[in-house]
Every structure is written in C-alpha cells, then in structure tokens.
Structure 1
C-alpha cells in the first residue's frame, strides 16, 4: 500500500494573514536531577509567528525541552536555569524556523543552612528563575531568585516607642535612661512575611556567570531578618530580635536589593538589567503591600550616585525585546 504524506498544516497560509507576537506552550513541568540534586521546573516556550504561517509545531517544543534536559543531565555539574533556557530558546528558534524564541523557567529546589544560634540543620525551599530570548542579534538571558524573609514595620515601632517614652517619663526615668532602655530592649512592632524577588538580565555576548547563592544572599539580607523552617527557642529569639533591630518598609527592602547588586556585583556593566520586587504579607491588614524597581544598571548607578530621579525605568519586557 502506498503511503500518502500528510500535509504540513502548520506551514500553510492562515485565512487571516497577520503575525502573532507569541505562540507556544505553558505549564510544562519537569523533574530534573543534576549532580544528585532534584529540581522541580516549570517552563514556558514561545516563538513569534509570521503572517504567512498558520501555526507553530507544538510537539517540537516538548521534544526540544526533553532533548536539552538530557544534555544538562549528562554534561553539567550544577543546574543553571538561565543556561537551560538559553539552550532551549536557541534550539526552539532553529527547529521552528522563527525569527525569535522566548523561554522562561521557574525551578524549585532545596538548600540546607544552619539555624542562627543552635546551628541545627534546616531545609529551605528556594526558587531559581531562568529566561532567554534568542533572536538574529543574539541571545539575551535572565537569571533570578526568590526568597522569603521577615520584615518589621518601622512606623508602628516608632508609635510604640513614643508611648513607652511617655510611660517611662511618668515613672521618673531620665531622658538618658529612657534612651538606654529603648536601645537595650527591642521595641515591639507588627511584622510581615516578606517575599523578595531579584532578576538580573545579561545582554548578548555577555560571559558573566551569576551565582544564584549570591543573589539569594542579596535578597535575604534586604529584609529585616532571614527566616528558618526549623528553629530552637534560642534561634527564634535571635530572629525576632534581629528583625526588630532592623525595621524596614517594603520600599526599604527593594532599595537594599538594588544597593546590594551595585555593591556586591561590580563586574556587571551598565547594560545589565535589574528587577527587584518585594511583597509583604500584612498581619494587621487584610491587604498586602508591594514595591518594585526595574531598569538598566546604568540608570540605577546614576541615580544612586547623583540622587537625581531617573526619568527612564526600562521594564523587563522592553529589555527582553531588545528595546532597552
């Protein structure tokens, strides 16, 4: 029996000939083992679509993801989400015949760290982000992390401290004694669990490698205190006291993240992209609070150095599309 070749429907011309910005797949989930460590990853893959192509070959996305994950397992000693995204984006672009391909990855993984006083070993779950856009001009990549911490509200702390000063004054304490007491005893305030996210974008032909652990350190240090899944009483006391001695608004956390990038990653150029975001889960309100700052590192350095407002805040979308 003679086999009849199936027509390539996706390559035919659509009825309405207009290009599409992004066509692809979302919610692709994989478990990846690299160097005896497991990562749970969620991926999205997209290509642009020209006005004369009816559709993308959806099965090729899944095939490419599986092929590249196989390469990573065989050849890598450490998992780097952004480099996985780069390889998938470049291969997807080639296999789909697209001008542009975009891939984003969110990978959850465990890290072990000691509690601050007891040193008890505790497992913390972090999120690593990787992103890449492959185009004719080259490939841009994005590396990021997300971590949780604790913040203590400066405003409420000042209100509580003011009331404490009045009561201590009524009891006959001197001004110097009152200040010494308030310095020795951390003043109460309401606190929040904070969710910090930091992304760094690397332009085409950039060979700088960013360590996720270093980025996590910047994020966690931006908040009033780190948090730990498992703690002894001594650890709980240390965490609460540290947080109340470093009260920070949601805005403070974002500014500390940006400053941490500038101070701790001097190897980055002005063309690198930075996005810092903090969300605090409120305890005395039903709403949450959010702050963000994004832009080219050159924009951020200029503003930090001069104190002048930068009129341009390049967004992640603009940077990924090569418009920043």
Structure 2
C-alpha cells in the first residue's frame, strides 16, 4: 500500500492544461478478500496524561491505528491516520479515543476501527522506611475499538512486583527464592479510574512492591515483607482478580502474572479473564 501516486495529464479543448493525481488506493480490487486491520503501527507522538498527584504528566506514546478494508477496495489512505493523530495536538487521552475512532470511520469510510496508545507512566514513590523518593516507570496502554455494536475502551497496565515462592519457603531451612514478576491488568470501567489506583490495587496483592531507590533499612524491610507474604503465580492472579471483582467501577478485566523464575530458565504464568455481570 502506501501513498504511491501518478500524475496524469488532463486534455481539455484539444490541449493539455491541467494535471490531476490519480487515487490508486481508491481503485477497485478484484480478489474479493477483505482485510481485518490495515493502517499505521508504532508511530511516536507526544501526549499529556492525567496524573493523580500532579494534575498531568507529559510523555511520549507509540500509536497503532487501524481500520477494516472491504474486499472491493484496493487500499486505504495511510496519511489520514497521521492527520487525525496530529489534529488533536498533545491533548490525547482516553477521553479522546471515541472522537478519534469516529473520525477514522468517517474519513476512511470504514466499518470498524482500532487505536492503541502505549506509553511509559512515572509514579513518584516513597521508600517504606527511609521515605526517600524516586520515580518508577510503568508501561500503560489505552486501547479503543469501534464497530456497529459501539465503542469499547480499555486500560492496560504492566505492574512490576516481587513474588516469593511459598514452596521454597516451606522446604528450606534458610531463605526462599524470589523473583521479579510482571502483573498485567487490562480493564474496562464504567467511569473514570486513576492509573495510580490500579497500580496500588495490584501492588497490595504482591509479595512486595518494587521501588526505584532503597536504602539499607528499606532493603531489609522489603526482603522480610516478601518473606512474610509468599505468593505462587496462581495466588497472584486470584488475589488481584478478587480485588477487581470488588471494584464496582470495573466492568470487565483480564489479569495476567508472569514470574521470571530465579531458579529456572523459564517463567511461570497464569491468567484470569472475566466480564462482570451488570446489575439489572
């Protein structure tokens, strides 16, 4: 695909007096094979995101923007995705997604659309004993989809935590193996919920949260805290799922946990996915 174009002279009154640019993408296609998603992937754009403690946070996001393409169209107009993205300047948020998705359907004459915005989000955290402050980054995604059934928005967050093995603790005379884990939650919500709220919810169910900077008293604390809160990967997803069940603003979720095992050359993994029943 792409924006390949060809100049074609136009003859009027026996002489060539103008040129038009032929729309190659607009040609008909004879293969009769529809395309589920076509568009642009991994384009960088500056954005502003709501920050619970500071009001807003400036960051850089990677965008994927797709629409469907009917079987009888040769191609889509790639430049229009970029135009839509730039028309919102830096005021792009989860609230912008329904508008952008509608613009995509209208300008690209599509029946379904998809936008994903991935960005690092920084939280200022205080160490548990010394109180020394440092920034910790989390990978966050806003995901929007639209079709003839409506518009759906999801938030995805990768939360790094510590997990300590209950089996290792039980059978060992000295210590227990622990590792860094990634707990990933993808949620749909009925109303606004802070990124920080979701991060705190996950970290509370881990063997221990992770911090950007720790002094010796902090390191002692988190080591002993993790030892007192051992979690299998199965425990992690069940405990987080229970908290997501209790949060009435969340209507659907997927929680995943990957433990990067410190005594194996593989990861342990578990996942729970659920659409919560809505009140009548």
TM-score exceeds 0.5: yes
Size of the aligned set, in residue pairs, is 259
Q: What is residue 147 of structure 1 aligned with on the other side? A: 159
Alpha-carbon RMSD across the aligned residues, in angstroms, is 2.0
Is 2:187 the partner of 1:200?
A: yes
Partner SS state of residue 129, structure 2? coil
The answer as to whether partners of 1:146 and 1:219 remain within 8 angstroms in 2 is: no
Q: What is residue 248 of structure 2 aligned with on the other side? A: 266
Q: Which has the higher helix share?
A: 1
The answer as to whether partners of 1:19 and 1:51 remain within 8 angstroms in 2 is: yes
Q: What is residue 118 of structure 2 aligned with on the other side? A: 106
1:164-243 equivalence runs, <5 A: 164=173, 188-202=175-189, 206=190, 208-243=191-226
Deviations 1:100-143 (A, max 9, x none): 10111111121111100000011111122111112233211111
- The partner residue of 1:256 within 227, 235, 239 is 239
Q: Which runs of 5+ in 1 are unaligned?
A: 73-79, 165-186, 300-324
Is 2:36 the partner of 1:37?
A: no
The answer as to whether partners of 1:64 and 1:91 remain within 8 angstroms in 2 is: yes
Q: What is residue 5 of structure 1 aligned with on the other side? A: 20
The answer as to whether partners of 2:233 and 2:257 remain within 8 angstroms in 1 is: yes
Equivalent-residue separation in structure 1 for 2:21 and 2:130 (angstroms): 67
Using the TM superposition, give the Cα deviation of residue 87 of structure 1 relative to its aligned residue in structure 2, in angstroms: 3.1
Deviations 1:203-255 (A, max 9, x none): xxx5x112211111122122100011111101001111111100001111111
Equivalent-residue separation in structure 1 for 2:117 and 2:91 (angstroms): 16
Q: Which has the higher strand share?
A: 2
Deviations 1:180-214 (A, max 9, x none): xxxxxxx6100010111111124xxx5x1122111
Q: What is residue 272 of structure 2 aligned with on the other side? A: 293
Q: What is residue 247 of structure 1 aligned with on the other side? A: 230
Equivalent-residue separation in structure 2 for 1:154 and 1:18 (angstroms): 53
Equivalent-residue separation in structure 2 for 1:70 and 1:246 (angstroms): 42
Partner SS state of residue 119, structure 1? coil
Equivalent-residue separation in structure 2 for 1:122 and 1:155 (angstroms): 33
Using the TM superposition, give the Cα deviation of residue 71 of structure 1 relative to its aligned residue in structure 2, in angstroms: 4.1
- The partner residue of 2:261 within 259, 279, 282 is 282
Equivalent-residue separation in structure 2 for 1:33 and 1:20 (angstroms): 32
